[in-house]
Amino acid sequence: MDLGVFIAGIALGLSLAAPPGPINALMAAQAISSSRLNGFLVGLGAMTSDATFLVITYTLSGLLILNETARGALSMVSFCLMLFLAYLTWRASRRIDLTPNRSVHIPYLTGLTVGLTNPFQLSWWMSAGLSLISSIGLIIIIGFFTGILIWITSFPSVLNWAGKGRPWVYRAVIYFSIGLLLAFAAWFLYNGAVLIGIVPDRL
């Protein structure tokens, strides 16, 4: 059971790390115009910001006493957030551009700063992150960070290869990410409905 939760966490981390956004744009710029290491450092900085939000969220989960109705409401908010991200990812996938258009001098600090100031990243931790910790525990979060680590390690190399006339590779990853986001959205919807009492625990 714990292994299944861990694998689900990896899938969640990959689904959230893959969609086009400022971090992936910076990673692309560094991986193509500078080096794969600099692309990785941008992602590492962003992952550090996630770790910061994790500490805040975990502290809140210990301070707040959430009943089933409150956890159900958090799941419903997470459902909406996942659905919205899937839509944004689909819209962005129609105009994917792997041509680097910006570079940075200190990639790690740039990734950290962008991550800390990204309102979506914070809202995810305050809704989906808090819901996952409250309902499942830290195992899925450990899997989540493993998924992100896999992405920031492999993405610069894949992008370097895909950038050489193979943009379909990244596009395929994006569509796979959309599928995962929709699957997690459905899970949050079902989990929230069960906690609130709209549907029975076992259908």
Distance CA 194, CA 149 (A): 32
What totals of helices (H) and strands (E) does the chain contain, helices first?
9, 0
In tens, the pLDDT along 92-146 reads 666 655 555 555 578 899 889 988 888 778 888 888 888 888 778 788 889 999 9
Nearest of 35, 28, 13, 22 to residue 149 by alpha carbon = 13
The model's pLDDT over 29-71, given as tens digits with 9 standing for 90+, comes to: 777 666 788 889 989 999 999 999 988 888 887 777 667 788 8
Q: Are 13 and 145 in contact (CB under 8 A)?
A: yes
Report the chain's mean pLDDT, rounded to a whole number: 80
pTM of the model: 0.75
At 142, list the tokens: 């450990």
Handedness of CA 32, 173, 45, 91 (dihedral sign): positive
